Amino acid sequence: MGTRPTSELAALANTLLELHQPGNPVVLPTVWDAWSAALAADAGFAGLTVGSHPVADSIGRADNEGMTFDELLTRVRQITDAVEIPVSVDIESGYAESANRLIDGLLDAGAVGLNIEDTVHSENRRLRTAEEHAALIGDLRAAADAADVPVVINARTDLFIRADGDDADRVDRAIARLKLAAEAGASSLYPVGRHSDDDHRRLTAELPLPVNAIGVPGDDSLAHFADLNVARISFGPLWQAALAERSKELLIRWR
């Protein structure tokens, strides 16, 4: 384990999980370095997510596992050193690492939560079967239990952003897939993508665990997601992208 004792990591993990309240969603700004993490923490947010896409951009790597797990952990350590609040990390599809290596690396870096998706980037972006994804989540839960830290596992499916299969039954398939993830030991569920209000209400009504939604910082509202019974909101790469656009506006004045 890293510099933080197991008891402190366990307390942070429990705090993070308790923040997931359907209808009263926690906003976990998606950060990429110590500066953005401190900015969000100083603004009063109770927890953070570390996004793989913005981290990769910040170190000159490609998204979709263009960086290594160790490169990600280097940045995670810098972030957890900069803030006292719980930090969750997007580990993409696991960087072809074992569940034990993933959990040990995250805890050593001071993180207490993770996103795990079902697109396997190291294998030509194939989609894991629902059973295979659930088995990985079960292995992650077992590794976290062995470490005595109730790591918050946010199980993600990419069915929507991949537009996988027929539109007509995609919500049904996502629900079935995420229910298996819940049974395997997930803490929250992430049907990543932009959904209609009706689909969002179906997802939050039929899924057995708190549901994560992606928010557009400059457009969406907390109240609207609360009305949809969402429990967790993150930004993916969209906060970083919004700052980039604003930065261009500032910089172009000086060309």
162 in a structural domain: yes
How far apart CA 20 and CA 187 sit, in angstroms, is 9
- From the number of C-beta atoms within 10 Å of its C-beta (0-12, 13-18, 19+), residue 206 rates as middle
Which residues are within 8 A (CB) of 122 and not within 5 positions of it... i.e. 6 or more apart? 65, 93, 95, 96
**Of the candidates 56, 203, 191, which has an alpha carbon nearest to the alpha carbon of residue 118?**
191
> Is 67 a domain residue?
yes
Helix H or strand E segment including 27 = strand 26-27
Domain with 107 in it: 6-252
SS3 content of the chain, % helix, strand, coil (to 5): 45, 15, 40
Backbone angles phi, psi at 5, to 5 degrees: -65, 160
In this structure, is residue 241 part of a structural domain? yes
What pLDDT sits at residue 2?
55
- Report yes or no on 58 lying in a domain: yes
Question: Closest Cα to residue 10, out of 181, 138, 190, 146?
Answer: 146
**Cβ neighbour number for residue 159 with a 10 Å cutoff:** 23
Helices (H) and strands (E) in the chain, counts: 10, 11
Report how far residue 222's alpha carbon sits from residue 26's, in angstroms, rounded to the nearest whole number: 9
* Residue-by-residue pLDDT tens, the chain, 255 positions: 457 899 999 999 999 999 999 999 999 999 999 999 999 999 999 999 999 999 999 999 999 999 999 999 999 999 999 999 999 999 999 999 999 999 999 999 999 999 999 999 999 999 999 999 999 999 999 999 999 999 999 999 999 999 988 999 999 999 999 999 999 999 999 999 999 999 999 999 999 999 999 999 999 999 999 999 999 999 999 999 999 999 999 999 999
Report the alpha-carbon distance of residue 22 to residue 232 in Å, rounded: 8
Report whether 67 contacts 27 (CB < 8 A).
no
Other Cβ atoms less than 10 A from the Cβ of 141: the count is 19
**Domain presence at residue 211:** yes
Does residue 1 form part of some domain? Answer: no
Give a yes or no: residue 62 inside a domain.
Answer: yes
What pLDDT, on the 0 to 100 scale, is given for residue 1?
A: 43
Residue 191's domain is classified under what CATH number? Answer: 3.20.20.60
Residue 226 lies in a domain: yes
Render 151-207 in DSSP notation, one character per residue. -EEEEEE-TTTTT-S-STTHHHHHHHHHHHHHHHT-SEEEE-S---HHHHHHHHHH-
Distance CA 224, CA 197 (A): 9
Q: What is the structure's pLDDT at 164?
A: 87
Q: Is the pTM higher than 0.95?
A: yes
Residue ranges with strand state E in 32-169: 48-50, 87-90, 113-116, 119-120, 126-127, 152-157
Residue 53: in which H helix or E strand, if any?
helix 52-58
Count: domains in the chain: 1
